[in-house]
Structure 1
Amino acid sequence: MRLSLALLASALWLAGCASTPQDPSGTWINQAAIDAAAQGGPLREALLAYGPNLEWRIDTARQLATVSNGFELSEGQLQVDPAAGWNVDFYGDFHEHLSLAGAQLLQAPSSNSPAQHFVRPQTPAAADAPQGSSFEHALYAAYLGGDWQIEQGSGQGGLVRFHADGAVEGLPGAERYALCLAGDCAAMSGEHDSLWLQLGNQGSAWLFERDGDALRVFAAVNQAATDEMPDYRPGEQVWLLQRN
């Protein structure tokens, strides 16, 4: 009898453990989109192919889940799904379902987005950094990391280094940069990739093309009227950079 009770207690304890999902709290990034971009092709094509969501931040203690698409944040209420995983309920009556599979956070396909996979960032951004920073830093390192030589343009022969935190060294007239991931900057540049270059308080948009280890940067020519949203098209090539 004692043996039977012990076995029953053990079985109940194991069942309880099996029904309690692992805590997914923390930051998760879309590594598949980063890996696709790192192949050296158009940036936003890679993000669209594996997006639209780029980073999740989950807080089970507060029952909150926030997702970033590179431009805007959506915050939802997180609830444990008795079947498996978690449901995220957003304002506007749309939902996402999350679950864990090994070291991955899985987002199930829904009416709003396709199935997507997320992983923990190797180097998470600071706790007080804006959401999306962990994905952005990992993308910047993979897409523009390393030494680039200026083959054509101002500073020809010099080396350029793009840092994961958005700093840039060696590019004349710039000390900060930001890649356009989505939103207004994407709408203004159409099918072209764009980035923002800034020196001090002054900055402007540029268009670029990435082809393997070659990076061409063009002036952004605005074809829109003064009272319309900017409509940028490539102008004169300003730099040709080659990654060493």
Structure 2
Amino acid sequence: MRLFSLLLCGALLTGCASPPPDDPGGTWINQAAIDAARESGRLREALLAYGPNLEWQIHPERQQASYSNGFELVEGRLQAVGAGQWQVTFYGDYEEQLRLQGDQLTQVASGYWPEQRFARAPTRGDEQAPLGSSFEQALYRDYLGGDWLIEEGQGQGGLVRFIDNGQVQGLPGAERFALCLAGDCAAMSGEHDSLWLQAGDQGSPWLFVHEGNRLRIFEAHNRAQFDEMPEYQPGPQRWLLKRR
């Protein structure tokens, strides 16, 4: 979905050293949700179990902290309230508490959310990158990374590669992809995992089942009436991919 640049930091470049242990500044991702999705194959279940928030970006120097849950981007005011503890105040005066313990940032359980834990993103990242993009990049790499062989379907025998910037190579009729994380696409696909495949300006939703080293991609059939929100169910299988 987005193109990321790699930042090559030399020893003499400022800003490339590891942050102090009591510095929450930077980008934090919900690695637990990614790990659970990779191990089980079930993306929606993992996001529901370990989310709903997917990424925090924290800027102590600006007294600013923002989070993404894959659907909303929410910005709040950051304030230190103790050693390794911060309070984030959002519009409407609702608050969240953050606690830093070593390399783990914990969003303390509140009346709005359960406790959630975050790990620093692999790099400090591009501050201009959209909020949530570091989580997406890590998810795409860990969940769909590597080479896939088309065992069944159009292009049988060819290799497919899902790239962490949202490009897909080798899948007939598709140039880009996006996994459904939250919002309308999740509501429309219900209990099923879904992704968006696009070529040029044309795209459509698909449902998939991730089973170990196999990925089955199904047509998304809409069971709703024309004046209702779409309700997708698996149709015919279009592809069976096997990770090499």
TM-score by length of 1: 0.88
* Residues 154-194 of structure 1: CA deviation (Å, up to 9, x unaligned): 00011100001111000000010000001110001011000
* Residues 101-156 of structure 1: CA deviation (Å, up to 9, x unaligned): 01111111111111111111114543222110000000000000011111110000
Return the alpha-carbon distance in structure 2 between the equivalents of residues 82 and 102 of structure 1. 15
Alignment of 1:44-193 (within 5 A): 44-82=44-82, 84-123=84-123, 125-193=125-193
Return the alpha-carbon distance in structure 1 between the equivalents of residues 58 and 43 of structure 2. 27
Once the two structures are aligned, what percentage of the paired residues are identical?
A: 66
Return the alpha-carbon distance in structure 2 between the equivalents of residues 229 and 125 of structure 1. 37
Structure 1: gaps spanning 5 or more residues: 1-20
Bigger radius of gyration among the two: 1
Return the alpha-carbon distance in structure 1 between the equivalents of residues 92 and 191 of structure 2. 30
Q: For residue 12 of structure 1, what is the aligned residue in structure 2?
A: none
Q: Which amino acid aligns with 2:115?
A: A
Indicate conservation of the 8 Å contact 1:224/1:231, yes or no.
yes
Q: Which amino acid aligns with 1:80?
A: A
Runs of 4+ in 1 over 4 A off after TM superposition: none
Structure 2: gaps spanning 5 or more residues: 1-20
TM-score by length of 2: 0.88
Number of equivalences: 224
Q: For structure 1, which segment, 182-191 or 70-79, has the greater mean C-alpha deviation from structure 2 after superposition?
A: 70-79
SS at 1:242 equivalent: strand
Q: Which has the higher contact order (CA 8 A, sep 6+)?
A: 2
Q: For structure 1, which segment, 203-212 or 40-49, has the greater mean C-alpha deviation from structure 2 after superposition?
A: 40-49
**How many angstroms does 1:38 deviate by?**
1.0
Q: For structure 1, which segment, 153-162 or 110-119, has the greater mean C-alpha deviation from structure 2 after superposition?
A: 110-119
Q: Which structure is higher in helix share?
A: 1
Change (3 A) 1:113 1:127: same
Indicate conservation of the 8 Å contact 2:56/2:66, yes or no.
yes
Indicate conservation of the 8 Å contact 2:106/2:115, yes or no.
yes
Q: For residue 35 of structure 1, what is the aligned residue in structure 2?
A: 35
**How many angstroms does 1:71 deviate by?**
1.3
| 1:194 corresponds to 2:194 | yes
Change (3 A) 1:204 1:96: same
Return the alpha-carbon distance in structure 1 between the equivalents of residues 84 and 160 of structure 2. 48
Return the alpha-carbon distance in structure 2 between the equivalents of residues 196 and 138 of structure 1. 18
